[in-house]
Amino acid sequence: MKNPDALDEAIQEAVRTDISRSKDIAADEVDLLMEHRCEKLRAICKQWFEHGEYLTVEVDTEANTCIVQREGR
């Protein structure tokens, strides 16, 4: 991650990708679903991130784990 917004941007991208794979979500529900899912993922990630630290990580939301792949300075 190279900036404080990287985590939030990654969450939004992952949720957007996941939602786009589903063909049964009505267009008027997409924004609400995006926000709901992003909030859930942000809550999970708060366990490990306080101020947008510089890290490369893998977050597994099913196993509820976060693995640091590489630390940055």
Residue range 16-67, pLDDT digits in tens: 999 988 888 888 899 999 999 999 999 998 887 776 666 677 889 889 998 8
pTM (two decimals): 0.68
- Cβ atoms of 59 and 44 within 8 Å: the answer is yes
Residue 73 C-beta-side C-alpha neighbours within 13 Å: 0
Structure tokens at 12: 């939004």
Domain boundaries, the chain: 6-71
